[in-house]
């Protein structure tokens, strides 16, 4: 466990919890004003949710979890009957009123899709269903099936006007690439609104740290002398609790995409759950995982998917455009990082090499 200590801080409370994708070691220093951190776990979006709050209590944690569950079951879930995405998919071709949160996520996802030249493509629902990697019977589809599914993935057929949305007839949308990050955002907003001084929120492979500047004096995501957290980045070759690096961060959002999360193997080939919309096959950009740091949960989640599909070189411009930073892991256990994170990362597993 890494620790950043302040000489003036007498009581340092350590609250550690394990996220499903990232192991987080949360060191909470004097900003708590002597109060113990409050932790709560739950599940939503097919993932575990972990909260740690400073200056909040069970009521706040419950409100945060309720907000995440609302975003899942009323808004973004493709499988829960009655959610906006479920309804849009079941009524493709027709305009429907959606929750404000759904419209907001759709608008942001469409913007990032355009900026990424549709590497992020939220209209891949038919392709995702075809491969079935999330389900019990995943399979490699035929080239014809893949082509037919890709023919439904034209994002110019998605419209959002205020709180009314529509998708093209026969199209299926899937917000799996941004949902967990958006869930971190909604939980973080709830925490701030209810006066929490600092918090960590994790939903699957996405994590958001909240710290109010007025309390902590935080200046930037990585720099400054008031850094609060040390985050372990999961070893993509190891098990859930193994990490290969630690990064000192301020109030930032972090998402990891990797080929180890959901996959099946056939004839020695691993087919994972992140697709290249240009080919209709799982992306093959030479990465094992990529972890993206940004000031928004949705953005870090979207960009981790985009960077995983594009690979190291090609994802640098879009990461720069959104002022995001990233840690890329390659099959030979070499690691590359963007410039803004170089000072903040420490490789903790000697089998990995930062190049
Ligand atoms: P996870 O959901 O495991 O955290 P990601 O954030 O990378 O991982 O999102 C992967 C999910 O996004 C897939 O399970 C699928 O639902 C969807 N998806 C896969 N490829 C794409 C893509 N190119 N664009 C948009 N969504 C995608
Ligand atoms: Mg993502």
pLDDT of amino acid 35: 52
**Residue 349 binned pLDDT confidence (cut-offs 50, 70, 90):** very high
pLDDT tens-digit series, residues 245-259:
999 888 899 999 998
* Residue 20 pLDDT exceeds 50: no
Q: Which of 54-63, 211-220, 274-283 has the highest mean pLDDT?
A: 274-283
Spacing, Cα 165 to ligand 1 middle (Å)? 21
Q: Which CATH architecture best describes the domain 3-72+197-354?
A: Roll (3.10)
Measured from the Cα of 309, ligand 1's closest atom is 23
Please check whether residue 31 is in contact with residue 53, taking contact to mean a CB–CB distance below 8 angstroms. no
* pLDDT above 70 coverage of the chain, percent: 85
* Residue 59 pLDDT exceeds 70: yes
Strands 353-354 and 334-337, by their bridges, are parallel
Spacing, Cα 178 to ligand 2 middle (Å)? 5
* Residue 24 pLDDT exceeds 70: no
Q: Which residue has the higher pLDDT, 13 or 269?
A: 269
* Residue 98 pLDDT exceeds 80: yes
Query: Which region among 4-8, 134-138, 152-156 has the lowest average model confidence (pLDDT)?
Result: 4-8
- Within 8 A by CB and 6+ apart from 272, the residues are 133, 258, 259, 260, 261, 262, 263, 282, 283
pLDDT tens-digit series, residues 106-116:
999 999 999 99
Measured from the Cα of 301, ligand 1's closest atom is 6
Measured from the Cα of 257, ligand 1's closest atom is 7
Determine the Cα–Cα distance for residues 302 and 119; give it in Å rounded to an integer: 10
144 sits in which H/E element: helix 143-150
- Point out the ligand nearest to the CA of residue 21: 1
* Residue 29 pLDDT exceeds 90: no
The sign one gets for the Cα dihedral 112, 96, 170, 159 is negative
pLDDT of amino acid 228: 63
Strand partners, 233: 245
166 sits in which H/E element: strand 164-166
Give the CATH fold of the 74-166 domain.
T-fold (1.10.3980)
| Any atom of ligand 1 within 6 Å of the Cβ of 304 | yes
Closest CA to 31 of 252, 230, 248, 211: 211
With b for 16 or more beta-carbon neighbours within 10 A and e for fewer, the 252-281 pattern comes to bbbbbbbbbbebbeeeeeebbbbbbbeebe
Stretch 144-161: mean pLDDT: 97
- Within 8 A by CB and 6+ apart from 241, the residues are 18, 23
Spacing, Cα 38 to ligand 2 middle (Å)? 28
| Any atom of ligand 1 within 6 Å of the Cβ of 150 | no
**Domain boundary assignment for the chain:** 3-72+197-354, 74-166
């Amino acid at each position: 466990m890494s620790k950043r200590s302040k000489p003036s801080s007498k009581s340092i409370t350590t609250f550690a919890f394990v996220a499903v994708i990232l192991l987080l070691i949360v060191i909470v220093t004097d900003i708590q004003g002597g109060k113990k951190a409050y932790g709560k776990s739950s599940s939503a979006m097919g993932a575990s949710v972990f909260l740690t709050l400073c200056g909040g209590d069970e009521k706040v944690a419950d409100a945060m979890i309720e907000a995440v569950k609302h975003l899942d079951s009323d808004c973004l879930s493709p499988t829960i009957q009655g959610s906006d995405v479920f309804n849009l998919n079941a009524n493709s071709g027709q305009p429907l009123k959606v929750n404000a949160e759904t419209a907001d996520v759709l608008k942001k996802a469409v913007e990032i899709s355009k900026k990424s030249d549709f590497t992020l493509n939220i209209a891949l629902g038919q392709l995702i269903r075809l491969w079935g990697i999330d389900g019990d019977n995943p399979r490699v589809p035929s080239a014809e099936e893949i082509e037919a599914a890709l023919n439904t993935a034209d994002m110019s057929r998605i419209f959002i006007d205020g709180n009314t949305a529509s998708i093209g007839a026969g199209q299926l949308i899937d917000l799996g690439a941004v949902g967990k990050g958006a869930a971190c955002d909604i939980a973080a907003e709830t925490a701030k609104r209810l006066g929490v001084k600092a918090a960590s929120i994790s939903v699957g492979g996405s994590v958001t740290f909240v710290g109010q500047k007025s309390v902590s004096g935080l200046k930037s995501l990585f720099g400054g002398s008031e850094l609060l957290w040390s985050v372990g980045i999961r070893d993509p070759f190891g098990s859930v609790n193994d990490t290969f690096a630690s990064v000192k961060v301020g109030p930032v959002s972090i998402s990891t995409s990797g080929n180890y999360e959901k996959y099946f193997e056939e004839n020695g080939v691993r087919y994972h759950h992140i697709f290249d919309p240009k080919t209709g096959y799982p992306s093959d950009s030479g990465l094992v995982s990529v972890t993206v740091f940004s000031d928004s949960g949705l953005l870090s989640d979207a960009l981790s998917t985009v960077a995983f599909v594009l690979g190291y070189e090609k994802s640098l411009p879009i990461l720069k455009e959104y002022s995001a930073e990233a840690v890329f892991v390659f099959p030979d256990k070499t690691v590359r990082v963007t410039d803004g994170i170089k000072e903040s990362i420490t490789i903790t597993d000697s089998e990995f090499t930062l190049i």
